[in-house]
Structure 1
Amino acid sequence: MSVSTTLPDWPPSLTPEQHSHLILLSSTYALTHGFTLLPPSSSQPPTSAIAAPLSLLPTPFPRGLYDLAVSLQPLYNALYARITLDWDFLDRVMGGSVSKVDTFQGELWRGWKSIREDLVQPLQLGLFRSDYLLHDGEKEGISIKQVEFNTIAASFGALSQRAGEMHKYLSKATNGYFSISPHLSNPSNFPANEPLKNLAAGLAEGWKAYGNKDAVILFVVQDGERNVFDQKWLEFELLESHSIPVIRHTFSELSTLAQIDPTTKNLLLPSPLQPSLPAREVSVIYYRSAYTPTDYPSSAEWSTRLLLETSKAIKCPSMALQLSGAKKIQQVLSEPEVLEDFLLGDHRPDVGFGKGAGSLTQEDVDRLRLTWIGLYPMDNSELGKKAYTLATSQPEKYVLKPQREGGGNNIYRENIPSYLEELAEEDKHKIEGEPEKKEGYILMELIEPPKGLRNLLVKGGENKSRLADIVSELGVYGVSLFGGKQVVNQTAGTLLRTKGRESDEGGVAIGISSIDSPLLVD
């Protein structure tokens, strides 16, 4: 689906006095409502916070494409749940060349394979986020194209809700942003968005399915996390709205604390603060860590991950579900008939749409495919050879992606040929029969966002904005509980991150991207 929407000239003009007033209102709103990050150098316990990077005004987004992205999320939830349950497919895709040339993915796949026959918890929980960019195809108009699908640590749900609430407050407090634009004066252009509420409800569904009202939810977190308030809001929501306590621990702490009952396989955590009390049973393990190699500085962290995986607790995500979010999976899905098999095959389990053929249609398949852009393997197949030619002869049209999460890992445009040469140089020292280094990557056609859109971006902790040519990335959250008779499949809200067009990579914590909200336009 594409639309012929002409995005409005943006932002509308503000007087210096109006601009200063919006800076004051937005910064005080952010600080008083927990729309915050820790400063780059913060003490423990923290004694200060800064406003999260934000946009002074919401950013125009075509209403029809926003509605489309939201409507597709249950389909994507079902797709990735079914991928996760297909061990043969994961073995073929992730257990092949990727596991041999990518150390991190190899450890993840081999670890999962070593313990998967002994798993005692069939239920799996996914808090997903599907990310899209607007694509200006010139002839066909503006459409949305998927950047990636996140199956682990899909962050900023709480802060995204706060961003939308802040923009609504600014509009109400200033007579529709001083009546500078009719788009800003219409409340229906500010979509309802409650990812904090919905993601917490998803974790609560996992807790309820586990079936022990005295159990806790475990957040596995990184050391020195600056995005702690986004996580804390989830913790508060679980406690206040669902009466579910949360315990936070890092991998290093869990390596000495985590215990598994040999009979029940319950995951038990004694309290370091009250060691005389009985250990608490864990119902759900929610990872806001474990997605990057730096989270596993030694073999001890991998051993802890495997220990947690073999427990009775519901994992969010499991190691299999984390593997399903790899870029290589995204690329293989684009190959002929693969998507059809997962969504239309009569042997597929019920993950929220019923079982097998008839629960979904070819129209559903086509709707998903419309959100994809060119994806290619970097192997020695005929398609892989074509990709190599494209990457070296027309690099300005492509991005080279490794199997990584968290941003800052991609190779863009003119940097691709020299990077492939570096990989080829490394291959001169490989053992005969091993795959080439490039097989750990995929090639993706660059999405071309519409040009000419600008906004006022405020870096965290600063009392000024900069006017930037922008690119906005829309994320749609989803909740999926699957693997047993209890099935949940829901859309859970959205996130809009906006950055200056000059930057290929994002990153809210480092100040490149701002947390924004969409202003729907027709």
Structure 2
Amino acid sequence: MAPVACALLVFSTHASTASGVPSALVSRALGWANTNGVQMSPQPGSFVHAPLSLSPFPLSADGFARARALAPIFNELVEAVASDPEWLLGVLEATLESDPFTGRLARVLREATRAGPEAQPLHLGIHRSDYMLDEPARADGGGYEPARLLQIELNTIASSFGCLSARISQLHAYVCAVAPADVAAVLDGPAAAELAAGAELPSNAALEMLPDALAAAHAAYIAQVAGAPSAGAPPAGAPPVVVFVVQPGERNVADQRLLELALWERHGVQAVRCTLAELAAGAQLRDGPAHPNGSPRPCLWVGGREVAVAYFRAGYSPDDYPTEAEWAARLAIERSAAVKCPTVAYQLAGTKKVQQVLAEPGALERFVPSAEHAAALRATFAGLFSLQTDDEYEAALRLTRADEDGYVLKPQREGGGNNIYGRDAAARLAAMRAGEREGYILMERIRPRARRLALARNNEACITEAVCELGVFGVFLGGGGQPALLNRAAGHLLRAKPLGTDEGGVAAGFAVLSSPLLERGI
């Protein structure tokens, strides 16, 4: 066996693809990825490796630490905003008229709460706050401006790629350990020096913390039922399940399956996958034992199993509701005693309009009692501008005319591929009619620093100048005015994309999965 090992070592040191990426690095990385489930499904029954970088991306250690520290504060902010439906719906009022999808979500919220208090006071949040380091080049050509950690958006529904990101962190730790010269060869000089000096590749706990959060919600539900009046012993038969609400033909199924398997292996909790259409056809609400406060408990049942947690990996796009049946299923879930991840109020709290209003002077202080925490959140806000009134619209036009490439026009959508950038944003804004513009906000464009990176997609690799976007997961379990049962950061996601690519979605085909190589002093 020794001669084979030597031959592989020589191949690793000298052979490269036509793009300049060491062939052995491609082989090692993609072999590891496919062996460990770092895959996507372009069509049902077939799998390819997920778009990924072959090397970690250099990132400020300070920026990474600050983003992680903010996760519990953003979790509390979402809970506070969602618990104030009068304020939430008031902020969204004009948007609801111009954006039928957001308006329909608001209608679900109103209908679900019309009958009285929530059937389930506990809320599970699996959030992801996405950031870029704003680090534009100096006008005099002498390096870069001081970096600012700026938030792109806060995702409160279907926050994806946590499990695959944990795997990517493991992949990069592996290739950096067994083939450091190959990895260094595809990085730029400063990053290669950092790697040689032992720069940190932070571990990523998403594959443990995300299933732990689902299991905590599941356990809390069972505890409620066991302690309810007249409930007696836990019901006989199979225990309640977690329902993953998914899209038909889901491409990102491996990320979801890794979470499902970890939930079973770590906690013995079974997950069931259902589309909204399947829930509309087969889900039922049945009367369960009353809450200790005497309020009714409409339990959700699917396929003969009681549902403890409804975890949405769908429901964030109008395409997820092709008929009224899907909307009826969403309303039934919202009315049920299952712990929702997220509630429709959580989903609305993550809209772009709410993000823009929270950036206005004094708005955060309504929900964040700590002045220190409010200041820490506000420091991450980029310029956010309303288009609601005529004066605000005219002010936004002046901004985009003065700097055509400096802004992004954002609708109230998730999932990638929806934003309008630069000159296209300026032209679209100028052409907007009254009654349409209220569905959008205008955001200052963030200017991250580009670094050299090796990317792989569809078994082909290349080296390019790329920028990155950091997402930090946060998990929260609480509500009903009681102290949170769970509130913490829960791993991270790093997406990289070639310089000049505007959108950042991996599933949408714009970016690749990466992981951070933490640099000191930037």
User: TM-score w.r.t. structure 1 length?
Assistant: 0.86
Provide the secondary structure at the position in 1 that maps to 2:410.
strand
Report the Cα offset of residue 184 of structure 1. Answer: 2.4
* 1:110-509 equivalence runs, <5 A: 110-118=107-115, 119-137=118-136, 138=138, 141-175=146-180, 177=182, 181-185=192-196, 189-211=200-222, 214-262=239-287, 264-270=297-303, 279-344=304-369, 360=370, 362-380=371-389, 382-424=391-433, 427=434, 436-451=435-450, 453-459=451-457, 461-462=458-459, 464-484=460-480, 485=482, 487=484, 488-509=486-507
Deviations 1:69-101 (A, max 9, x none): 11111111111111110112112112x110000
Query: CA separation in 2, counterparts of 1:186 and 1:280?
Result: 54
Q: Distance in 2 between matches of 1:199 and 1:521?
A: 27
1:386-409 superposed Cα distances (whole Å, 9 cap, x missing partner)? 223213443311111000001111
Contact 1:218 1:282 in 2 (8 A): yes
2:90 paired with 1:88 = no
CA contact 2:506–2:513 (8 Å) conserved in 1: yes
Q: Would the aligned equivalents of 1:129 and 1:476 in 2 still touch at CA under 8 Å?
A: yes
Q: Give how far 1:381 is off.
A: 5.8
CA distance change for structure 1 residues 420 and 178 in 2, over 3 Å: closer, same or farther? closer
Identity of aligned residues (%): 40
Match 2:38 to one of 35, 43, 46: 35
After TM superposition, give the deviation of residue 140 of structure 1 in Å: 5.0
One-letter identity of the residue aligned with 1:516: S
Instruction: Report the RMSD for the aligned CA atoms in angstroms.
Output: 1.9
Distance 1:178 1:478, change over 3 A: closer
1:396 and 1:179 mapped to 2: Cα distance?
A: 34
Return closer, same or farther for 1:510/1:369 CA change in 2, 3 Å cut-off.
closer
Contact 1:474 1:495 in 2 (8 A): yes
The C-alpha deviation readout for 1:220-241, integer Å capped at 9, x for no partner, is 0000001000000110001010
What is the rounded CA distance, in whole Å, between the counterparts of 1:517 and 1:147 in structure 2? 18
Cα distance in structure 1, aligned partners of 2:283 and 2:470: 37
Shift of 1:178: 6.8
Which range moved further: 221-230 or 183-192? 183-192
> What's the CA shift for 1:450?
1.5
Q: Is the 8 A contact 2:127 2:473 kept in 1?
A: yes
Summarize the Cα distance change of 1:186–1:262 in structure 2 as closer, same or farther, 3 Å threshold. Answer: same
Task: Name the amino acid aligned to 1:196.
Answer: L
The 3 A distance-change label for structure 1 pair 178 and 268 is: closer
Cα contact 1:454–1:468 (8 A) shared by 2 = yes
Moved more, 150-159 or 193-202: 193-202
- Aligned residues of 2:25 and 2:183 also touching (Cα < 8 A): no
Q: 1:182 to 1:412 in 2, by over 3 A?
A: closer
* Counterparts in 2 of 1:198 and 1:187: CA distance versus 1, 3 Å: farther
**TM-score computed with the length of structure 2 as normaliser:** 0.86
Q: Deviations over 1:258-291 (max 9, x none)?
A: 0000454110112xxxxxxxx1110000000000
| Conservation of the 8 A alpha-carbon contact between 2:409 and 2:421 | yes
Task: Classify the secondary structure of the residue corresponding to 2:37.
Answer: coil
Give the AA of the match of 1:111.
Answer: V
Task: Give, in angstroms, the shift of residue 518 of structure 1.
Answer: 0.3
Shift of residue 155 of structure 1? 0.1
Partners of 1:131 and 1:172 lie apart in 2 by 29
What are the Cα deviations for residues 158-187 of structure 1, in whole angstroms up to 9, with x where unaligned?
000000000001112225647653422455
Change (3 A) 1:450 1:178: closer
Distance 1:102 1:252 in 2: 23
1:100 aligns with 2:97: yes
- Larger mean Cα displacement after TM superposition, 15-24 or 508-517: 15-24
Q: CA deviation at 1:422?
A: 4.0
Residue 114 of structure 2 aligns to a residue whose secondary structure is helix
Structure 1 CA distance for aligned equivalents of residues 22 and 364 of structure 2: 49
Give the direction of change, closer, same or farther, for the CA distance of 1:418–1:215 in structure 2 (3 Å limit): same
Could you give the per-residue CA deviations for residues 453-484 of structure 1, whole angstroms, max 9, x where no partner exists? 1211101x31x311111110000000011213
Letter in 1 for 2:415: G
Aligned to 1:24: 27
Alpha-carbon distance change, 186 to 221 in structure 1, aligned in 2, over 3 angstroms: farther
Q: Which moved more, 1:197-206 or 1:410-419?
A: 410-419
* CA 1:261–1:197: 2 relative to 1, 3 Å: same
Structure 1 window deviating more from structure 2 (145-154 vs 412-421): it is 412-421
Identify if the C-alpha distance between structure 1 residues 105 and 332 changes in structure 2 by more than 3 Å, giving closer, same or farther. Answer: same
Change (3 A) 1:15 1:385: farther
Structure 1 Cα separation of the partners of residues 341 and 300 of structure 2? 14
After superposition, what is the alpha-carbon deviation per residue over 1:120-177, rounded to whole angstroms, capped at 9, x for unaligned?
1111111000000110154850121100000000000000000000000111222564
SS at match of 1:308: helix
Bigger Cα displacement from structure 2, 144-153 vs 199-208: 199-208
Structure 2 vs 1, CA of residues 510 and 323 (structure 1 numbering), >3 Å: closer, same or farther? closer
Mean Cα displacement is larger for which, 127-136 or 384-393?
384-393
The change in CA–CA distance for 1:134 and 1:179 in structure 2 (over 3 A counts) is closer
Deviations 1:192-250 (A, max 9, x none): 11111111111111111112682110000000001000000110001010110000000
SS at match of 1:454: strand
Give the length in aligned residue pairs. 467
Once the two structures are TM-superposed, the CA of residue 493 in structure 1 deviates from its matched residue by 0.7
Q: What residue number does 1:59 align with?
A: 57
Q: Secondary structure at the match of 1:332?
A: helix
Structure 1: runs of 5 or more not aligned: 1-12, 271-278, 345-359, 428-435
